Structure 1
Amino acid sequence: MTSATPTTAPASAARKPRPNVVLAMLLVVYIFNFIDRQILAILAAPIQADLDLSDAQMGILGGLAFALLYSTLAVPLAALADRTSRSWVITVSLVLWSGFTAACALAQGFWHIFLARLGVGIGEAGGVAPSYALIGDYFPSSRRAFALSVYSLGIPLGSAAGVLAGGYIAARVDWRMAFVVVGILGILIAPVFRLLVRDNRPQVAPGEPVMARPRLADTARLLAKKPAFWFLSFGAASSSMCGYGLAFWLPSLLQRSFGLDLMQSAWFFGLVLLIGGTAGMLLGGWIGDRLGGRDRAWFAWVPAGAFLIGAPLFALGIMSGSVLLAFALFIVPQALVYVWLGPVLSAVQHLVPPPARATASALFLLINNLIGLGGGIYALGQVSTLLAPVYGDEALRYSMLLGLSLYLLAGVLMLLAGPGLRKGWVEEA
């Protein structure tokens, strides 16, 4: 896949930070990543009222506006990170997406905030795949799924923080100030991250050749030949269509169908994300490392079981007429639908040699996010708009119920991925 080059690495290198320090800083950056994504969900109602936007337009802002460049630019930026510096790419990306988040506060109409969200996507494109690769460099295979699960805690922690902080600031000041605050905080974190996190490239003795960084085309050709990659990617994309859609629209559902106000819905959804999401992330990584060590197929089969069990539980919560009962019913499936991240992300990194990890992760994320993030939020919003003449304020509830079929599809695709992981797994030296 690669060829040797005459370049050599230095005999001595600066002392590398401890793996747990790197993981902690990557987690902090990922938390800000999801604060900037999820804050739009809790602010949807005041933004719609202020800018006179429909559910379909909010679906575009929450999904397509962000995902369009986020998904496509992630691939060349990951390839750049593989060939240059992963930590620098992440640092610059953090500054960019935080700046555009703050710029959302200046919006006076749909196209203003659309362009700002497009900018957030450009910045975040360089954050995730290089982070996966850094974790792969710092943590051995036997601990990687759990380390990736700890990193992925940024999703529930960041989402919860975005919901709670956004709701609080919007209630006390306005929705524009919420964007300003989280944007500035992200920019302030960037120099701290760069100071504490450095690349962990394999070191060789003077005169010993090192392998050239793989080209994007080489990695793409290798993955294209492995059925497991396609099943994992489209299974994750199906789950993300539903997951991102539910996460974006649930605060609106709580206000329309359950009668909660802005702060009540923020606390409800924030706690569901925090409790359920954290438990699911850690459980998935722990089970994935243990069962996957015995049979590689379990890296896909564990998520499959979680999706197939979680979908009907979500349906019960959505149709519940009681706020307390709905909260209890949402906790368990929220945990189950987050189980997949550690096992699947670890599996994708083992379908290629170590130097290609960031690029492989970005190609996986291209499929996952372009379909999942780009389509899910918009689809649920558009279906809700279409159902509104019949169901009124309850249209969103039925739109979300229809969306749960995507979790069932994800479960089937993950089941099919299992055997391919046995054949396509790349063992480390």
Structure 2
Amino acid sequence: MTGTADLRRTSAALVLALLLIAYVFNYLDRQILGILAGSIIADLHLTDRQFGALSGPPFAILYSVLGIPFAYLADRTSRSRVIAAAVAFWSAFTGLCGIAGSFWQLFVFRMGVGIGEAGGVAPSYALIADYFEPRRRARALAIFSLGVPIGLSLGTVLGAYIAHAISWRAAFYTMGIAGILLAPVMLIVVRDVRRPHLPSAPPIGQVFPMLARKPVFWLMAFAASSSSLCGYGLAVWTPSVLERSFHLGLIERGQFMGSVVFLGGCTGVLAGGWLADRLGALDRGWYAKLPAIAWLITAPTFAAGLMAPSLWLAWPLLLIPNALNILWLGPVITAVQHLVPRPMRATASASFLLINNLVGLGIGPFLIGGLSDALKHSYGVEALRYAAVACTSFYVLAALLMLLCVSRLRRSWVDDVAA
């Protein structure tokens, strides 16, 4: 019996590791656009508003909307196969971004990346929930969520070095080919958990109405959306703030961003998962309280870091919010899994991601880019810095919405036994 348990833990660890690698590529392919902003804007003759559009809506609309049917397909067929196919698809379109010769070509290719990535995240959440029991689930989801800071930092550093050594186009080619090579490994190694004792996934029309009747779902979704609006926007535009306001070159921007995102992000994600498992076992409300506290600290420290008079002060100030702004991933993703019975989890996750990414990813980069263009007459080269600072106010809104979830989450929690 012990041998079987050990084998299951080993299998779960291997699956989690591969899902993490896929998630790293997911975010790497998103963030690489941010570090290459200067080169792409100059080469394709784009405005900040146009680049903001490339970084948000084309990806976000398809990524958010198609996430639900892909997740439903994963719930009814094979979660692992859907994930492997998604990796291959988004990686192919990442590579195609390197051949873009105009705004509209890059726009279409970014839409392709969004279509592919729509099939990766929600099925991964559900697969991890299948492999890990409730007392270890938030930590497992937090480890998976390390893909966010690792992918963001690697995308920044590798993109900068490849673009400096060759070109921005070569950076897209490299990342695309690497992802395509990963896809067959995912297909061979990652397997679904057998679920013979569970009913088949209910029709998709039953899942969202169940969520929609729970106010806590809407509050959590819009709280995360407010945070992501700022998080995605800053991820895309902070490298350009470092270029325009702090006068850093391409490699220096990559090193600066890579270090604060990796060190801060990994610390925050792991801390969020560990604290959620420990405190959430005592009170389900902590799954909401933890992100709220983190966001209240994130807003002023992000603004202070962006407005710092020197890099020596900016680095430690930006390290703090880069840890706290994504601490929510483990706690909130775990909570969403427990708003519905087990067979509905991938679809429920996709419903949550629909709102989170449509608002956060769809609006954030475009909003900062638009504000930057609007403020250029008054602030000149510093316009982007002030646009980024203004965006940090959304973290306060996120915290207030999440605090409203605390008592509601306790009442809405669906245990595995009940599921």
TM-score (norm 1): 0.94
1:316 is aligned to 304
State how far apart, in whole Å, the 2-side matches of 1:256 and 1:335 are. 24
- 1:17 Cα deviation after fit: 6.7
State how far apart, in whole Å, the 2-side matches of 1:187 and 1:21 are. 20
Letter in 1 for 2:415: E
| Per-residue Cα deviation, 1:136-165 (whole angstroms, up to 9, x for no partner) | 000011111111110000000011111001
Structure 2 residue corresponding to 1:201, chosen from 182, 185, 194: 194
SS of the residue aligned with 1:82?
A: helix
SS of the residue aligned with 1:89?
A: helix
1:280 is aligned to 268
Matches within 5 A, 1:294-373: 294-373=282-361
2:132 maps to 1:139: yes
2:82 maps to 1:86: no
Structure 2 residue corresponding to 1:248, chosen from 225, 231, 236: 236
Residues 26, 151 of structure 1: 8 Å contact kept: yes
Letter in 2 for 1:306: A
SS of the residue aligned with 2:405?
A: helix
The unaligned stretches of length 5 or more in structure 2 are 1-7
State how far apart, in whole Å, the 2-side matches of 1:408 and 1:16 are. 39
State how far apart, in whole Å, the 2-side matches of 1:301 and 1:226 are. 18
Question: Structure 1 runs of 4+ off > 6 angstroms?
Answer: none
Q: Percent identity?
A: 54
2:33 maps to 1:40: yes
Q: What is the alpha-carbon root mean square deviation over aligned residues?
A: 1.2
The unaligned stretches of length 5 or more in structure 1 are 1-14, 205-209
2:369 maps to 1:381: yes
2:408 maps to 1:400: no
- 1:201 Cα deviation after fit: 2.9
State how far apart, in whole Å, the 1-side matches of 2:203 and 2:331 are. 26
State how far apart, in whole Å, the 2-side matches of 1:183 and 1:402 are. 34
- 1:203 Cα deviation after fit: 3.3
1:164 is aligned to 157
- 1:211 Cα deviation after fit: 1.2
Letter in 1 for 2:168: W
State how far apart, in whole Å, the 2-side matches of 1:106 and 1:400 are. 30
State how far apart, in whole Å, the 1-side matches of 2:95 and 2:270 are. 32
- 1:22 Cα deviation after fit: 0.6
Residues 19, 138 of structure 1: 8 Å contact kept: yes
2:281 is aligned to 293
SS of the residue aligned with 2:107?
A: helix
State how far apart, in whole Å, the 1-side matches of 2:326 and 2:9 are. 31
State how far apart, in whole Å, the 2-side matches of 1:106 and 1:225 are. 46
Letter in 2 for 1:365: L
- 1:16 Cα deviation after fit: 9.9
Structure 1 residue corresponding to 2:147, chosen from 154, 162, 170: 154
Residues 17, 198 of structure 1: 8 Å contact kept: no
State how far apart, in whole Å, the 1-side matches of 2:47 and 2:194 are. 49
State how far apart, in whole Å, the 1-side matches of 2:66 and 2:189 are. 26
2:63 maps to 1:70: yes
| Per-residue Cα deviation, 1:90-115 (whole angstroms, up to 9, x for no partner) | 01111000000000011111000000
Letter in 2 for 1:310: T
